[in-house]
């Protein structure tokens, strides 16, 4: 499932949980344009179609996460794009290349604060 709000360089939200993806999208769409993908493969296909997102928000347990992250790391044009990880429990986990990590539960204000931090 792919959705789009208007913006020249939207935030890409990658999450395989429809309700969670829709929630994050609805919170962010008031301040930034949004595109969504329901897995890493669909997100990568958007990039191949020419999407250069201003930010990438990835739910950590999303299907094909490793495939998507691997390709992001190999793509020089996407290197400066902030990567925001949404995770249920951080614990001692280390997430390389993340610009921000947001642990559940979170508030809409926390999501907006992180999104505006990376607005170009």
For residue 100, what are its two tokens? 């921000």
pTM: 0.89
Starting at the edge strand found earlier in the chain, the sheet holding 55-59 runs: 3-4, 34-37, 11-14, 55-59, 83-87, 100-103
Mean pLDDT, the chain, rounded, equals 89
Q: What's the pLDDT tens digit per position in 61-101?
A: 888 888 899 999 899 999 899 999 999 876 656 777 899 99
- What is the rounded radius of gyration, in angstroms, for the C-alpha atoms of the chain? 13
Give the helix ranges, DSSP H, for 49-117. Answer: 65-74, 108-117
- C-alpha 14/C-alpha 16 separation (Å) is 7
């Amino acid at each position: 499932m792919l959705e789009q709000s208007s913006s020249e360089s939207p935030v890409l939200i990658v999450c395989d949980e429809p309700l969670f993806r829709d929630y994050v999208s609805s919170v962010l769409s008031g301040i930034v344009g949004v595109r969504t993908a329901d897995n890493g493969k669909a997100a990568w296909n958007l990039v191949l179609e020419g999407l250069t997102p201003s930010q990438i928000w990835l739910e950590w347990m999303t299907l094909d996460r490793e495939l998507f992250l691997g390709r992001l790391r190999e793509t020089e044009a996407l290197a400066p794009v902030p990567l925001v990880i949404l995770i249920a429990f951080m614990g001692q986990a280390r997430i390389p290349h993340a610009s921000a990590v947001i642990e559940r539960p979170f508030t809409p204000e926390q999501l907006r604060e992180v999104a505006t931090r990376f607005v170009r």
